[in-house]
């Protein structure tokens, strides 16, 4: 009995530690190792007028993946533009339903019509960011979130690449 | 004779020191020439009022790709909505809800309140109606490229350089209701951070002095 628990616990610990090591390595590789100290307080989200959840940039950086999906709930752009950028981008219909841009177009919505965004990839969210720095000011530990946004906006990839 | 020589040595030493100080000062000056900022006049726009929409044609495409369409309500609150600009055109539709509200007292802007949290509105204010009402009663409304009260980068940049609180750049309300930076030349250390940090191009480097 004890041996079984020992094996299970050992495997669990090895998996957990392995995952933490992988996370540290990917954060280092992306070029933003400081992103690991974010503790998800979400204070950065409140002052963003575009409705961006800046924690999404942090998550994409320590995952080293600019395609991580994140909330951008108050971005406005024409449906045609949303289709060009990412047809799978989730936008809000007038009745409040959340649909992909492609689904909105299939419903017959005019491509020139302005839609409210809801979720999109981090590299596209960086294009909508105003660079006002309100999220950085709100962060209690002063994480330089705009550094990630700047690299994604200008190069489409993280600093490490 | 010895006394003359020592006096001469002291004079030569002083001359060398003077030349060295002069060279060092000159180098410091050329490294930090500094430039004053220039606050650009606000972007102009022609409003075309229709039954269910307002079409605004701007004089130029803004650098950030978005503008604030604003109107003042009866309580002298600044109500603004962030709108994208496509080919110098902005469309404000009926049902577009304001993103931010800021109280204005005289020339000073109070603390802004964000009306939308994630996908829920804390307060729904139809900005289309407010613009139409302001137009009808002769109130203030318009469009501006400066994103204050959302963006405070110029003031924050000034605060990092001037610790006394007597800032060279402060935000003020202009005649047409625009909220723009106001610049005091005498207080400005010419660090250049304001126009470097401005994301909208509302503040530029003053022309004239070159590096």
Per residue in A90-106, pLDDT tens? 998 877 889 999 999 99
Nearest to A130 among B114, B116, B150 (CB): B150
CB-based contacts of A42: which residues, under 8 Å, 6+ apart?
A53, A55
Give φ, ψ of B121 to 5 degrees.
-95, 130
Whole-angstrom distance, CA of residue B52 vs CA of residue B101: 23
Phi-psi map region of A126: left, alpha, beta (phi>0 left; psi -120 to 50 alpha)? alpha
Residues 94-153 of A with CB under 8 A from B: 94, 114, 118, 130-134, 137
- Which structure tokens are listed for A62? 């320590």
What stretches of B96-154 adopt beta strand conformation (E)?
Answer: 100-105, 108-109, 113-114, 116-117, 120-121, 141-144
Three-state secondary structure call for residue B11: helix
Whole-angstrom distance, CA of residue B151 vs CA of residue B102: 13
Q: Are A145 and A54 in contact (CB under 8 A)?
A: yes
Residue A161 has what pLDDT? 66
- Angle A2-30/A55-63 helices, nearest 10 degrees? 100
Decide if A45 and B84 are in contact by the 8 Å CB cutoff: no
Q: What is the pTM of this model?
A: 0.79
| Residue of B54, B83, B84, B94 best to disrupt the A interface, most CBs of A under 10 A | B84
Helix intervals (H) in B32-172: 127-137, 153-161
Closest approach of A161 to chain B, Cα-based (Å): 25
- Give me Rg for the CA atoms of chain A: 19
Residue B112 has what pLDDT? 87
Question: Distance between terminal CA atoms of chain A?
Answer: 49
- Which structure tokens are listed for B64? 């950030």
Whole-angstrom distance, CA of residue B116 vs CA of residue B130: 17
Residue B31 has what pLDDT? 44
List of chain A residues whose C-beta atoms are within 8 Å of the C-beta of residue B150: 49, 130, 132, 134
Closest approach of B25 to chain A, Cα-based (Å): 35
Place of tokens 């605004």: B56
Decide if B199 and A132 are in contact by the 8 Å CB cutoff: yes
Q: What averages of pLDDT result for each successive group of 10 residues across chain A (161 residues)?
A: 88 95 91 90 88 93 92 91 90 86 90 90 92 90 92 84 66
Q: Are B157 and B193 in contact (CB under 8 A)?
A: yes
ipTM score:
0.78
Q: Is A53 on the interface with B (CB under 8 A)?
A: yes
Of B3, B49, B41, nearest to B182 by C-alpha is: B41
The residue count of chain B comes to 211
Q: What is the pLDDT along chain B (211 residues), one digit of tens a residue?
A: 567 888 999 999 999 998 888 776 655 544 445 788 888 888 888 999 999 999 999 999 998 889 999 999 999 999 999 999 989 999 999 889 999 999 998 888 888 888 887 777 888 999 999 999 999 999 999 999 998 888 888 988 888 888 777 888 888 898 888 998 888 888 888 888 888 889 898 888 887 544 4
Decide if B84 and A114 are in contact by the 8 Å CB cutoff: yes
Helix intervals (H) in A31-157: 55-63, 79-85, 101-106, 122-128, 134-138, 145-155
Whole-angstrom distance, CA of residue A56 vs CA of residue B30: 43
């Amino acid at each position: 009995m004890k041996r079984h628990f020992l094996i299970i616990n050992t495997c669990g610990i090895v998996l957990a530690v392995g995952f933490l090591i992988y996370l540290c390595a990917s954060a280092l590789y992306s070029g933003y190792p400081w992103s690991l100290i974010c503790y998800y307080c979400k204070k950065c989200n409140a002052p963003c007028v575009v409705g961006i959840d800046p924690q999404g940039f942090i998550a994409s950086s320590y995952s080293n993946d600019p395609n991580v999906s994140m909330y951008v709930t108050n971005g406005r752009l024409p449906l045609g533009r949303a289709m060009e950028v990412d047809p799978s981008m989730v936008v809000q219909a007038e009745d409040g339903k959340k649909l992909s841009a492609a689904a909105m177009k299939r419903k017959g919505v005019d491509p020139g019509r302005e839609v409210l965004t809801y979720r999109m990839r981090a590299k596209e969210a960086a294009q909508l960011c105003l660079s006002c720095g309100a999220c950085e000011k709100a962060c209690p530990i002063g994480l330089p979130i705009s550094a990630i946004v700047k690299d994604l906006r200008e190069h489409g990839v993280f600093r490490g690449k | 004779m010895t006394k003359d020589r020592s006096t001469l040595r002291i004079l030569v030493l002083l001359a060398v020191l003077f030349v060295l100080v002069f060279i060092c000062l000159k180098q410091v000056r050329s490294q930090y020439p500094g430039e004053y900022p220039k606050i650009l006049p606000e972007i102009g726009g022609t409003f075309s009022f229709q039954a269910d929409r307002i079409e605004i044609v701007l004089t130029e495409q803004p650098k950030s790709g978005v503008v604030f369409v604003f109107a003042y309500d009866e309580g002298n609150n600044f109500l603004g909505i962030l709108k994208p600009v496509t080919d110098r055109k902005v469309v404000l539709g009926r049902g577009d809800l304001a993103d931010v509200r800021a109280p204005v007292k005289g020339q000073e802007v109070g603390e802004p309140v964000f009306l939308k949290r994630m996908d829920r509105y804390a307060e729904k204010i139809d900005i289309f109606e407010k613009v139409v009402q302001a137009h009808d009663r002769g109130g203030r409304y318009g469009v501006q490229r400066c994103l204050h009260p959302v963006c405070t980068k110029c003031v924050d940049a000034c605060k990092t350089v001037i610790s006394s609180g007597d800032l060279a750049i402060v935000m003020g309300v202009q005649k047409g209701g625009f909220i723009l930076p106001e610049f005091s030349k005498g207080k400005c250390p010419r660090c250049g951070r304001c126009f470097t940090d401005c994301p909208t191009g509302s503040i530029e480097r003053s022309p004239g002095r070159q590096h």
